[in-house]
A = this chain, B = another copy of it.
Amino acid sequence: MRVSKLFTKTLKEAPADEVAKNAQLLIRAGYVHKEMAGVYAYLPLGLRVIEKIKQIVREEMDGIDSNELIMTTLQRKEIWDKTTRWDDDIVDVWFKTKLKDDTELGLGWSHEEPIVEMMKQYVRVSLYQFQTKMRNELRAKSGIMRGREFIMKDMYSFHASKEDLEAYYNQAIDAYMRVYDRLGIGDETYVTFASGGAFTKFSHEFQTICDAGEDVIYLHRAKNIAINEEVLDDAVKELGVEKDELEAVKTAETGNIFNFGTQKTDEMDLYYVGEDGKDHSLFIGSYGIGITRAMGVIAEKLSDDKGLVWPDNIAPYTVYLVSIGDKGAAEADRLYEELREKGVEVLYDDRDERPGAKFADSELLGIPHRITVSDRLLEKEQYEYTNRMSGETVLLTPEEMLAKLV
């Protein structure tokens, strides 16, 4: 993509009403547009990051034999009444609306109830979707880390026995950790004990260390144990650690998984007919990853005073190509085509701007690798290469440069 054809412009200043660092950076770099507090449009660069995160999550969920589908935003009251979760006093983030005949509808903030309703005939199946969830948050000041409208991967698995569910639940934990590794935040993401439900004492959250996070977890780094403060006393007893061995750190919840056991199926009075012809309870697991929240956490953590710093895996483009001078421009045109043919995702700054402005945009946008082609370097048959994460700048021959990027 040529920068001259990219419609977004970078901004010198963050918008005054935006207090979250992730949104400040993403708005300045032209990745997102703020529609209102907690509601952001994703511009072309932002959409590319979203799609890359989704693809990583998709590959890992397909890898544990889950099937992708897409459910609906509009929700029926009857289904949620079965578990009492229609009630605004029980779930305080509903957006509600009405059909022309005054039938009340809800806007999906989660999809456990409708998927349980849909799945009554099935066992041994796992389904997931990337869905725009609506949550009527009282305050929404964390940029894309807590939205009133946000993208979530939610997965649900259905089993005939406790053991089958538990085996799948553990597979899901492993798949989640592979996702965080591939997103570049695996080292600082912990499987964390959190409050459970009727069926299990604890659920598991995936908490990523992040100053802008809203949670506090207690961490035993040596034993790789992490506990949400809400279950601190219980978990300490259970896990055989001492409170004073634990370190309190601020975190953002980037995922959670929940073993419902037969709770949902019993509440919703839904059974499957087994081979014995009798009704059986379904064992259900629920597994979420906040896609836009993960993007926000990465923007918070992997950034510096110059702007965003995307890992290669999810950068909207991996190479930022800058030309200086007339001969430089001609060579950059050629190199742009060559790299694209080789499958490299290049953002080519072909604008008539001074080099300093191009370098600053390259840094604000957070593209991992920058190649500069200038009249002066061409005489020596060299390119300048700069790594966004390390800041390292070196001169490379064409062969060395291709070896690095392709």
Give the interface of A toward B (CB within 8 A).
5-7, 9, 33, 35-36, 39-44, 46-47, 50, 65, 67-76, 95-100, 105, 107, 114, 118, 121-122, 125, 127, 132, 134, 136-138, 148-149
Contacts and interface: CB of A to CB of B under 8 A. Distances in A.
27 contacts: A5-B65, A7-B67, A7-B127, A9-B121, A35-B72, A36-B74, A39-B74, A41-B69, A41-B71, A41-B72, A41-B118, A42-B69, A44-B67, A44-B127, A47-B68, A72-B149, A73-B132, A73-B134, A73-B149, A74-B149, A95-B97, A95-B98, A97-B136, A99-B136, A100-B136, A107-B107, A132-B132
A39 B73 CA distance: 9
A368 to B, nearest CB: 22
B72 A114 contact: no
Top-9 shortest CB links A-B: A7-B125, A44-B67, A41-B71, A95-B97, A35-B72, A97-B97, A42-B70, A39-B74, A100-B138
A41 B129 CA distance: 11
Contacts of A99: 136, 148
A70 B97 contact: no
A148 B74 contact: yes
Contact of A39 (B67, B72, B122): B72
Contact of A47 (B39, B43, B70, B97): B70
A354 to B, nearest CB: 19
A235 B81 CA distance: 54
Contacts of A75: 35
A127 to B, nearest CB: 7
Interface centre among A47, A74, A96 (most CB of B within 10 A): A74
A69 B76 CA distance: 30
A96 B39 CA distance: 16
B33 A118 contact: yes
B100 A36 contact: no
Nearest to A151: B70
A111 B404 CA distance: 43
A7 B67 CA distance: 8
A353 to B, nearest CB: 16
A69 B51 CA distance: 11
Given A68-B44, A69-B44, A74 B7 contact: no
Nearest to A36: B76
A33 B99 CA distance: 20
A76 B35 contact: yes
Contacts of A74: 35-36, 39, 95, 134, 148-149
Contacts of A105: 95
Contacts of A44: 67-69, 127
A44 B62 CA distance: 12
A39 B118 CA distance: 14
Given A41-B71, A44-B67, A122 B33 contact: no
A71 B34 CA distance: 10
Contacts of A114: 35, 41
A33 B148 CA distance: 26
Contact of A97 (B40, B68, B107): B107
A122 B114 CA distance: 42
Contacts of A65: 5
A270 to B, nearest CB: 15
Nearest to A40: B72
A46 B129 CA distance: 13
Contacts of A39: 72, 74
A193 to B, nearest CB: 31
A178 to B, nearest CB: 21
Given A35-B74, A41-B69, 4 more contacts: A35-B72, A44-B67, A47-B70, A97-B97
Contacts of A138: 100
